[in-house]
């Protein structure tokens, strides 16, 4: 009678059972009998409920962990399944069935190195039960995309110099192209290596506006003694622009080492080569002698000096190399994965450091719903410090499609994400980036991806203002700048082939 009552209470809910714990005492035999019966009846929820209560009462043994692990596995809650099946193998590591379940649970939770270690320790007979094949080349990924920029033509050309009408310029990012080829290699059961090559091509335009006083001859007056040359000296504004391309080639190398106990150590190095044609505006004052008047009685032309401002725009081929060195360490805690990351880089003539903390969570114990929250501290030089935030949420929509949304908030200029694999090294300030992606599972080996990204950015406008020196009362032209908002829309398509 007591056993029947206990079973009913367990099946009803945890709360009911807690209320009756004083009346019914759990012990090893009761837990073993009930979990075995419910396991054989495939009542997975009840197995899990009893197992949790038993563990709270410090009742723990091999078959309890096996039954709980398999129950979670059958419910597709693979993360807690890994926890209990690992514990079972601490009691007894010789059971091939448990190893098989644990192998697939690791596979389904993206723990490829742990799965390889399990496979290596299996008997040939057990290994034949696994339909996955492992080789040196584990994965091939190819993707490409195009970015449309609202900043490809200036909306402020009429006021590029602002009110002082001296000089103004801005360097605008237009549309861009992106391509990526990635490989994942399995070096050993504990170590894998990721290799990637990226190619980016940005269409850019440097817009320049300048003003200068000009000496314009408007008329010649004849007199009884000769000629008089009459001039106007208007302020004339000129607009000019130079189209060019920035071509960027990148190589990213990342390793993943699993020492055990749920840890993963991931060093990475990212090499960046940038090449483009640079336009370097310059100016000089040339003194010319303009005719002032002509006297007929001595046949002499009298002149006056005029300082004529001339601009030049020499161009030169420019290239440089940058790099990012990064390290990330993660630790699995049941339904959670905690990550600590850091990097050092030398981008665009400055040195950057960043350190970040991330938490990935799987509320349902699988990839049906997941999220990653990250906070990163970034510093560049002595005065540039920023706090960067990102949030990713993903969910399984159908058996063959996953959807993911993300937002990266803050100025990520010269920062990096994904352990240095993505680097924001362009010169414009970034306010935030939001995006969404779809992953389509075509077969066991092939999946397709479609990615959309919206980025809010700002381009720099340089101009000059007149300021008076309070000490000398001199008026000087001082360079200043402001930032003009714009946005980009990016579409990326990709294919992944898992061997």
Question: Would you list the DSSP string of 165-199?
Answer: -SEEEEEEEEEEEEEEEEEEEE-SSSEEEEEEEEE
All domains of the chain, ordered by start, with CATH? 2-128 (1.25.40.10), 137-498 (2.40.160.40)
Is beta strand 336-347 parallel, antiparallel or unpaired with respect to 315-333? Answer: antiparallel
**For residues 483 and 481, what is the distance between their CA atoms, to the nearest angstrom?**
7
DSSP letter string, 1-50: -HHHHHHHHHHH-HHHHHHTTTTS---HHHHHHHHHHHHHTT-HHHHHHH
Q: Which of 397, 394, 391, 494 is nearest to 434 (CA)?
A: 391
159 DSSP 8-state letter:
G
**For residues 263 and 330, what is the distance between their CA atoms, to the nearest angstrom?**
6
What does each of the 499 residues of the chain score in pLDDT, given as a tens digit? 444 444 444 444 443 443 344 344 689 999 999 999 999 999 999 999 999 999 999 999 999 999 999 999 999 999 999 999 999 999 988 888 898 899 999 988 888 888 888 888 787 777 776 766 677 898 999 999 999 999 877 766 667 888 777 899 999 999 999 999 999 999 988 899 999 999 999 999 999 999 999 999 999 999 999 999 999 999 999 999 999 999 999 999 999 999 988 899 999 999 999 999 999 999 999 999 999 999 999 999 999 999 999 999 999 999 999 999 999 999 998 899 999 999 999 999 999 999 999 999 999 999 999 999 999 999 998 889 999 999 999 999 999 999 999 999 999 999 999 999 999 998 899 999 999 999 999 998 999 999 999 999 999 899 888 887 777 778 788 888 888 999 999 999 999 998 8
Global confidence as pTM: 0.84
Q: Token pair of 308, please?
A: 């004529």
**For residues 408 and 59, what is the distance between their CA atoms, to the nearest angstrom?**
45
Q: Which of 477, 366, 290, 422 is nearest to 108 (CA)?
A: 366
Quick one: pLDDT at residue 464? 87
Per residue in 254-311, pLDDT (tens digit) is 999 999 888 999 999 999 999 999 999 999 999 999 999 999 999 999 999 999 999 9
Q: How far does CA 290 lie from the centroid of its chain?
A: 60
Quick one: pLDDT at residue 67? 96
Q: Is the dihedral of CA 147, 150, 153, 154 positive or negative?
A: negative
């Amino acid at each position: 009678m007591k056993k029947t009552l206990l079973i009913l209470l367990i099946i009803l809910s945890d709360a009911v059972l807690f209320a009756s714990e004083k009346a019914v005492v759990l012990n090893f035999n009761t837990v073993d009998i009930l979990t075995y019966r419910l396991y054989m009846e495939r009542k997975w929820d009840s197995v899990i409920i009893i197992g949790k209560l038993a563990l709270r009462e410090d009742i723990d043994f091999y078959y309890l962990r096996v039954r709980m692990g398999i129950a979670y596995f059958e419910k597709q809650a693979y993360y807690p399944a890994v926890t209990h099946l690992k514990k079972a193998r601490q009691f007894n590591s010789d059971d091939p069935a448990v190893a098989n379940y644990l192998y697939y649970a690791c596979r389904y939770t993206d723990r490829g190195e742990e799965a390889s270690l399990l496979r290596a320790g299996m008997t040939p007979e057990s290994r034949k039960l696994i339909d996955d094949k492992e080789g040196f080349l584990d994965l091939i990924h190819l993707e490409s995309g195009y970015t449309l920029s609202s900043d490809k033509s200036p909306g402020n050309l009429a006021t590029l110099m602002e009110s002082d009408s001296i000089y103004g310029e801005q360097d605008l990012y237009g549309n861009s192209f992106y391509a990526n080829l990635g490989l994942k290699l399995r070096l050993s059961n504990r170590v894998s290596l990721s290799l990637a090559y990226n190619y980016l091509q940005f269409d850019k335009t440097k817009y320049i506006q300048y003003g200068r006083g000009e000496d314009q001859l408007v008329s010649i007056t004849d007199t009884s003694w000769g000629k008089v040359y009459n001039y106007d000296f208007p302020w004339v504004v000129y607009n000019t622009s130079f189209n060019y391309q920035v071509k960027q080639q990148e190589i990213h190398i990342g390793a993943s080492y699993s020492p055990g106990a749920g840890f993963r150590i991931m060093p990475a190095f990212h090499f960046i080569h940038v090449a483009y044609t640079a336009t370097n505006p310059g100016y000089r004052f040339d003194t010319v002698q303009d005719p002032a008047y002509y006297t007929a009685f001595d046949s002499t032309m009298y002149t006056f000096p005029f300082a004529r401002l001339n601009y030049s725009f020499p161009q030169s081929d420019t290239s440089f190399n940058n790099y990012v060195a990064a390290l990330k360490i993660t630790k699995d805690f049941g339904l959670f994965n905690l990550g600590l990351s850091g990097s050092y880089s030398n981008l665009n003539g400055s040195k950057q450091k960043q350190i970040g903390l991330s938490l990935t969570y799987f509320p349902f114990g699988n990839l049906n719903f997941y999220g990653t929250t990250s906070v990163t501290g970034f510093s560049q030089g002595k005065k540039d410090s920023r706090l960067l935030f990102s949030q990713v949420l993903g969910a399984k929509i159908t058996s063959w499609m996953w959807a993911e949304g993300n937002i990266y908030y803050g100025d990520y200029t010269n920062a990096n994400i994904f352990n240095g694999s993505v680097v924001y090294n362009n010169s414009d300030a970034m306010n935030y980036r939001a995006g969404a992606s779809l992953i389509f599972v075509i077969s066991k080996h092939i999946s397709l991806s479609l990615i959309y990204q919206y980025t809010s950015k700002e381009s720099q406008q340089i101009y000059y203002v007149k300021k008076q020196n309070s000490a000398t009362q001199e008026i000087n032209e001082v360079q200043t700048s402001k930032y003009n908002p714009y946005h980009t829309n990016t579409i990326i398509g990709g294919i992944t082939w898992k061997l």
